[in-house]
Amino acid sequence: MSPCVLLLSVALVSVTSAQFVPPFTEDCRSHMYPPNGPTFRGAVAWYTVDLDLPPSKRWNTLIADKKTDLVTMIQAIRDLADAFVPSGRLVELVDVTLPLMANTLPDPFSEEIKGIAAVSGIPLGEVVLFNIFYEVFTVCTSIVAEDDKGNLLHGRNLDFGLFMGWDVKNKSWIISEKLKPLVVNLDFKRNNQTVFKSTNFAGYVGMLTGIKPHTFTLTMNERFSLDGGYIGILEWILGQRDGMWMSFLTRSVLENANSYEEAKTRLATTKLLAPAYFILGGNQTGQGCIITRSRTLSIDLLEIDLKLNRWYVLETNYDHWEQPLFLDDRRTPAMKCMNQVTQKNISLKTMYDILSTKPVLNKLTTYTTLMQVSTGNLESYIRDCPNPCMPW
Ligand SMILES: *[C@@H]1O[C@H](CO)[C@@H](O)[C@H](O)[C@H]1NC(C)=O
Ligand SMILES: *[C@@H]1O[C@H](CO)[C@@H](O)[C@H](O)[C@H]1NC(C)=O
Ligand SMILES: *[C@@H]1O[C@H](CO)[C@@H](O)[C@H](O)[C@H]1NC(C)=O
Ligand SMILES: *[C@@H]1O[C@H](CO)[C@@H](O)[C@H](O)[C@H]1NC(C)=O
């Protein structure tokens, strides 16, 4: 049994009651766009990150604005850690051990993280912890689709916070709730020109969702495995540092790769700390794929293939050739809705409808992002999932 299944069973016992008999699937939504109603909490603000500034200064404006929310978020993590290991020992460990780890991270991430700690006043170790968290606990849905005019569209729900404290009164995940105020859109510029754009959490320097306008779009989903993130991170701490942090790789690819093919090669061949799925869209017909990664290899590449009538690729958190865990099947409902929409009618609007259909939308969903490479457009929305709604 994988750690994920194990954790999921534990969570199931502690979280679900008769009101969530999984799988809870509703009819495919329509006319949800422009975003409105109870599943839409709000628009996402834009910030510029100037890559010409020294790494330690790049995040100052954003962190100055989001400091209070970031402190609240990290306090919530501390509270959970204290509840888990009373006496504050775990947090002590974080404050003593993880700052040392900041020095081992590659450029520019080490300096950026130190800059964020300095501006926010949050202990360095806790900012490091916040940045490691996403490498381990992200569950999501990502779709790349080609419409009948050859436009590539890329959508994703970012679901985060599983197993991190269920708020019984509010029927919500504590960390997911605290993350919503931290969601921002970032415009990374060099020489005053956009290099890439991303939806991100303030305080986090890796990338989970991004677009290089007119060139490619990229999202990353967690891939659970026994040989998972914990082992790679442990190896890193113990000094074996040849693997790359996944979300640092996605950021580096967004920053430096100049074509779909180059991005694909780097994502498929760079050694990683943990397994992952990379969902990549290009700017020409047929350019959309899911790269299924182990730490060392690309295990599988599934690409759009119009000749086979495969006009989209869709990834949640299970290998596409395996059945998803029945308690957590977001793939079947999402694919059902994609097939119902058809290639003729796929657009950012209809993709938003699909990403608004429960359980593709669930209690962990913090944001939905829609990207179109040909226009360079990235838009994102903070989400809520009113009851009845699956916890994941
Ligand atoms: C296409 O999608 C729109 C928006 O959801 C919907 O109103 C329309 O009925 C759909 N058209 C077809 C042919 O399915
Ligand atoms: C429950 O949710 C409400 C509204 O979202 C919020 O104001 C309140 O602080 C939450 N309660 C807890 C204990 O987090
Ligand atoms: C940067 O570009 C914006 C428009 O994209 C322009 O208004 C601004 O003056 C430019 N700033 C500099 C320093 O070139
Ligand atoms: C697609 O990307 C390639 C590689 O970066 C670039 O040369 C080409 O101009 C792009 N095509 C379009 C239509 O933007």
Nearest to 227 by CA among 319, 162, 296, 146: 296
Task: Place 15 in a pLDDT band, splitting at 50, 70 and 90.
Answer: very low
Atom number in ligand 2 closest to CA 174: 14
CA of 143 from ligand 4 middle (Å) equals: 21
Find the radius of gyration of the CA atoms of the chain. Answer: 20
- For the record, the structure tokens of 214 come out as 């007119």
Q: Is 380 in the pocket of ligand 4 (CB under 6 A)?
A: no
pLDDT digits over 256-289, tens only?
Answer: 999 999 999 999 999 998 889 999 999 999 999 9
Q: Is 170 in the pocket of ligand 2 (CB under 6 A)?
A: yes
- Ligand lying nearest the CA atom of residue 172: 2
Contact 154, 219 (CB under 8 A): yes
Task: Place 101 in a pLDDT band, splitting at 50, 70 and 90.
Answer: confident
The residues annotated as belonging to the active site are 140
Cβ burial of 200 (10 Å; 0-12, 13-18, 19+) is buried
pLDDT digits over 24-80, tens only?
Answer: 788 999 999 999 999 999 999 999 999 999 999 999 999 999 999 999 988 887 787
pLDDT for 11 beyond 60 = no
Q: Is 169 in the pocket of ligand 1 (CB under 6 A)?
A: no
- Report the C-alpha gap between 256 and 258 in whole angstroms: 6
Cβ burial of 249 (10 Å; 0-12, 13-18, 19+) is buried
Task: Place 138 in a pLDDT band, splitting at 50, 70 and 90.
Answer: low
Q: Is 167 in the pocket of ligand 2 (CB under 6 A)?
A: yes
Contact 221, 276 (CB under 8 A): yes
Task: Place 348 in a pLDDT band, splitting at 50, 70 and 90.
Answer: very high
pLDDT for 311 beyond 80 = yes
Atom number in ligand 4 closest to CA 214: 14
Q: Is 307 in the pocket of ligand 1 (CB under 6 A)?
A: no
* Average pLDDT, integer, range 199-217: 96
Residue 280: the pLDDT is 98
Q: What is the mean pLDDT of the chain?
A: 87
Q: Is 30 in the pocket of ligand 1 (CB under 6 A)?
A: yes
Q: Cβ neighbours of residue 86 under 8 Å, at least 6 residues apart?
A: none
CA of 367 from ligand 4 middle (Å) equals: 29
Q: Which residues of 285-301 are buried (b: 16+ CB within 10 A; e: fewer)?
A: ebbbbbbbbbbeebeee
- Report the C-alpha gap between 255 and 110 in whole angstroms: 17
pLDDT digits over 151-163, tens only?
Answer: 999 999 998 765 5
**How many Cα atoms within 13 Å fall on the side-chain side of residue 195?**
18
**How many Cα atoms within 13 Å fall on the side-chain side of residue 288?**
26
CA of 30 from ligand 1 middle (Å) equals: 8
pLDDT digits over 224-240, tens only?
Answer: 765 666 677 777 777 78
Residue 227: the pLDDT is 62
CA of 192 from ligand 3 middle (Å) equals: 6
CA of 215 from ligand 4 middle (Å) equals: 6
**What's the pTM?**
0.89
pLDDT for 18 beyond 70 = no
For tokens 């800059």, the residue is 115
